[in-house]
Amino acid sequence: MIPAWKIYPSSQRRSTVYLKNVVKNPFIEVGDYTVYDDFVNDPRDFERNNVLYHYPECNHDRLRIGRFCSIACGAKFIFNAANHAMDSLSTYTFPLFFEEWDLPTDTASIAETWDSRGDIVVGNDVWIGYEAIILAGVTIGDGAIIGSRALVTKDVPPYTIVGGLPAKPIRKRFDEETIARLEALRWWDWDREKIKRSIDAIRHGDIDALEKNA
């Protein structure tokens, strides 16, 4: 586990942060060692700049990101308040402007402004590319890769590379047997020392050696 005071994984670089230690919103959960890099804005402002239309006081929707993820500059997570209600005769957000139209002011009534599709869940060891967009209700499996500027509207299976507008599967990173072995190992949940001993096996794709360290 990384200490709460440690923001930067590298003393030579201030564009990359440990995301867990810069977000404050209790409705955003981030696992250890997940990093966000931003060469345009201060990466410590991830919550304000990258998690958009997120009003958990109305929706109780959450952003859940696992361990050892890599999130590139400009990646956005678009939440439910961006989804204007489509079962109405108008997409205009009347409930949001309750003062103007003398409508109820409780949060449940205000939330009728938009269609709710649920949480955004990102697994472990996921790489999200430059300026990719992840929409509400999407779950991204462990080990997946999201291409640059992809628009992710549907769930992404584990260890799958997706890209495009909207994002579609390009290929699996490994064969199904290897994926199953990796999912069973869950190396990202190991303690720090065990992971350190296994870095060579992880980096060089030696799953047999990784299993020996399990």
Please report whether residue 108 resides in a domain. Answer: no
Q: What's the pLDDT score for residue 23?
A: 97
> What does the alpha-carbon distance between residue 162 and residue 113 come to, in Å, rounded to a whole number?
31
Please report whether residue 122 resides in a domain. Answer: yes
Active site residue 84: yes
Using H for helix, E for strand and C for coil, what is the string for the chain?
A: CCCCCCCCCCCCCCCEEEHHHCCCCCCEEECCCCEEECCCCCHHHHHHHHEECCCHHHHCCCEEECCCCEECCCCEEECHHHCECCCCCCCCCHHHHHHHHCCCCCHHHHHHHECCCCCEEECCCCEECCCCEEECCCEECCCCEECCCCEECCCECCCEEEECCCCEEEEECCCHHHHHHHHHHCHHHCCHHHHHHHHHHHHCCCHHHHHHHC
Q: Which of 54, 60, 84, 204 is catalytic?
A: 84
Looking at the structure, tell me whether residues 132 and 196 fall in a common domain.
no
Looking at the structure, tell me whether residues 208 and 120 fall in a common domain.
no
Looking at the structure, tell me whether residues 191 and 146 fall in a common domain.
no
Q: Say how many domains are in the chain.
A: 2
Q: What's the pLDDT score for residue 58?
A: 86
Looking at the structure, tell me whether residues 120 and 210 fall in a common domain.
no
pTM, rounded to two decimals: 0.94
Per-residue pLDDT of the chain (214 residues; tens, 9 = 90+): 788 889 999 988 899 999 999 999 999 999 999 999 999 999 999 999 999 999 998 889 999 999 999 999 999 999 999 999 888 899 999 999 999 999 999 998 998 888 889 999 999 999 999 999 999 999 999 999 999 999 999 999 999 999 999 999 999 999 999 999 999 999 999 999 999 999 999 999 999 999 998 8
Domain that holds residue 127: 16-82+116-173
Please report whether residue 25 resides in a domain. Answer: yes
Please report whether residue 136 resides in a domain. Answer: yes
Looking at the structure, tell me whether residues 190 and 141 fall in a common domain.
no
Residue 37 CB-density burial (10 A; 0-12 exposed, 13-18 middle, 19+ buried): middle
Please report whether residue 98 resides in a domain. Answer: no
Looking at the structure, tell me whether residues 34 and 135 fall in a common domain.
yes
CA angle in degrees (0–180, nearest 5) for 178-186-19: 120
Radius of gyration of the chain (CA): 19
